[in-house]
Structure 1
Amino acid sequence: MSALELVVVAAGLSVPSSTRLLADRLAEATARDLRDAGREVHVRVVELRGLARDIADNLVTGFPPPALRDAVRAVEEADGLIAVTPIFSASYSGLFKSFADVLDRDALTGKPVLIAATGGTARHSLALEHAVRPLFSYLRAAVVPTAVFAASEDWGANGADGPLAGRIARAAGELAESLGVPRTRAAEPEQVVPFAQQLAALRAR
């Protein structure tokens, strides 16, 4: 049985980047589920920050430079994709969208995709559903049900085993299932915060 190819697209702009950190955690959780089920998996990370000029050149000229061509080929040939963007102005970043624009329209048809995003506040989490998911639906990708958003507070003292860990485990399990591998462990339970408490926290900011 051939190894599964898992490609991670991270659109973080800073170094270090919380977007890359979330991308790595999602990739590790998915690869662990796959390996626990006896599947070999190769993980490749495509950092768009280093391809920004190549992406701009391709949009203007229509000809991708070698590094961008290699990254596009990796995405096209991947068995599964993890796509992570920072949220700017209540939507995906321009760099993330520009990379999507250089992909062939049929490149992601039927491909299992896990979407995720980072932002300064949990109020931006809806961008995953009103911007990122529709983008991949337009590209006819098979997006897993759970999208993962990480706000700044998710990287605090409990970041390793708090609600974010539960969302990561659930989404990774869904992606592994989409790749034909049954889950080998249950997702960590996510802490449920009552709506009234969430609303009060937002008003206090």
Structure 2
Amino acid sequence: MNLVVVTAGLTQPSSTRLLADRLAEATARRIEEAGGAVEVRVIELRDLAGDIANTFVTGFAGARLRDVIDAATSADGLIAVTPIFTASYSGLFKSFFDVIGNDALVGKPVLIAATGGTARHSLALEHAMRPLFAYLRAIVTPTAVYAASEDWGGDGDATGVLSDRVARAAGELAGLLTRRHPAQNAPEAFEDVIPFEQQLAALRP
């Protein structure tokens, strides 16, 4: 299955990309543990800012942006991560999902996550990001992940609390994705099935 990660970090390196990578790794690991196979593609919106702006002006997406939109809309699942500015998602993040269209993510499993300088902005996940994807009729995981500056240890390591949230959210997304691919979890076919009439005959005296 295909998992697409959309990250709207503006700097390089960025804590937004760092969180996106942690979520993608954890989700892929859970899918593989369940016997599935997953291909992950990361989309850096920072590199597409000009393409997105041009789409609003011209009404047409260029080839590079069109390829990214196709990847996001055809993916089996999405991980969407944005920095929080002024208590909401970034303008670049919102603009990307504006150009995708209202019907492109219907029924698609999505894990939402965000980063910010302080934990005070964590509610932006619930009052801004979750309603956005509910409007797009995506299926959002119950657990959303927010990472403030204090949630990162030395060398970009996640603290225990953040690691727990990442693992829980990744498990929820992996569960949604594997349920959409039941063939991967189907039990092995029964061998030598005895017809019901034969079983009844064996019970007669």
Q: What interval of TM-score do these two structures reach, taking the shorter chain for normalisation?
A: 0.7 to 0.9
Conserved 8 A contact 1:159-1:165: no
Match of 2:98 in 1: 101
Give the counterpart of 1:162 among 160, 163, 173.
Answer: 160
Once the 2 structures are TM-superposed, how far is the Cα of residue 50 of structure 1 from its aligned partner? Answer: 0.2
Conserved 8 A contact 2:152-2:159: no
Over aligned residue pairs, what C-alpha RMSD do you find? 1.3
Match of 2:57 in 1: 60
Deviation digits for residues 86-108 of structure 1 (CA, Å, limit 9, x no counterpart): 00000000000000100121110
Deviates more, 1:62-71 or 1:149-158: 149-158
Amino acid in the other structure paired with 1:126: L
Give the counterpart of 2:114 among 102, 111, 117.
Answer: 117
Distance 1:129 1:17 in 2: 22
- Please give the secondary structure, in 2, of the residue aligned with 1:35: helix
Q: How many aligned residue pairs are there? A: 179
Distance 1:91 1:161 in 2: 24
Once the 2 structures are TM-superposed, how far is the Cα of residue 67 of structure 1 from its aligned partner? Answer: 0.9
Match of 2:169 in 1: 171
- Please give the secondary structure, in 1, of the residue aligned with 2:128: helix
Distance 1:49 1:31 in 2: 24
Once the 2 structures are TM-superposed, how far is the Cα of residue 156 of structure 1 from its aligned partner? Answer: 1.8
Instruction: From the CA coordinates, give the structure whose radius of gyration is larger.
Output: 2
Distance 2:133 2:28 in 1: 22
Match of 1:202 in 2: none
Conserved 8 A contact 1:146-1:170: yes
Deviates more, 1:106-115 or 1:160-169: 160-169
Match of 1:28 in 2: 25
Do residues 150 (structure 1) and 147 (structure 2) align? yes
Conserved 8 A contact 2:108-2:139: yes
Q: Name the TM-score, length of structure 1 as normaliser.
A: 0.85
Once the 2 structures are TM-superposed, how far is the Cα of residue 159 of structure 1 from its aligned partner? Answer: 4.1
Once the 2 structures are TM-superposed, how far is the Cα of residue 160 of structure 1 from its aligned partner? Answer: 3.4
Deviation digits for residues 27-48 of structure 1 (CA, Å, limit 9, x no counterpart): 0000000011111100000000
Once the 2 structures are TM-superposed, how far is the Cα of residue 119 of structure 1 from its aligned partner? Answer: 0.1
Conserved 8 A contact 1:117-1:150: yes
Distance 1:143 1:128 in 2: 11
Give the counterpart of 1:70 among 61, 64, 67.
Answer: 67
Do residues 84 (structure 1) and 90 (structure 2) align? no
Over 4 Å off, 4+ runs: none
Give the counterpart of 1:8 among 5, 8, 12.
Answer: 5
- Please give the secondary structure, in 2, of the residue aligned with 1:84: strand
Amino acid in the other structure paired with 1:76: T
Amino acid in the other structure paired with 1:111: K
In the alignment, structure 2 segments of 5+ residues that lack a partner are 183-205
Amino acid in the other structure paired with 1:21: L
Between Structure 1 and Structure 2, which shows a larger proportion of helix residues? 2
Amino acid in the other structure paired with 1:160: A
